[in-house]
Amino acid sequence: VNLSERHAIAPCLRSVHRTGGLEGDCARAARCVESEGAAGLVMAAEWRDFLEPSGPGRMRISKHGSMLTDAILIADEQHMAEHSDDRSPTQLVNTACLPGIVGEAWAMADWHFGYGFPIGGVVATDVNAG
């Protein structure tokens, strides 16, 4: 959301408000962020197929499906096996689908399940693209 113009509404939200529906990249992002029903179950299981070590203390979920970039988690294989449920990495995968994302979606060392976006998640966005 671009806050520099008196709390202007992000383009996706503007599209929903004015048209009653999503358009273009916003519709694609909404489909990616879907987390309930069959679509959410498929995505939750799918990210594990793309999980791989990416250096000491880091795991990478490679770009797949509607993801625009990779997702990086600050965790090792043992942490992922012992302390991770499917919800937080699924949320991170969803953030990697957002329009305007620049670089990877990151989950810092304290990452855990949030409300739509993982707590400890970090993304950079280009306000002109999303």
For 62-100, where are the E strands, in sequence order?
71-74
Does 6 reside within a domain? Answer: no
Per-residue pLDDT tens digits for 13-57? 333 333 444 444 444 444 554 444 444 434 545 899 999 999 999
Number of domains observed in the structure of the chain: 1
Burial of 65 (0-12, 13-18, 19+ CB in 10 A): middle
Per-residue pLDDT tens digits for 92-113? 999 999 999 999 999 999 899 9
Total-model pTM = 0.67
* Residue 125, SS3 per DSSP: strand
Which residue, 97, 94, 87, 53, is CA-closest to 72? 53
Residue 62: give the domain boundaries.
11-125
Which residues are registered as beta bridge partners of 61?
A: 51, 71
Does 47 reside within a domain? Answer: yes
Which residues are registered as beta bridge partners of 119?
A: 112
57 to 73, 107, 116: CA distances (angstroms): 8, 12, 25
Does 5 reside within a domain? Answer: no
Does 3 reside within a domain? Answer: no
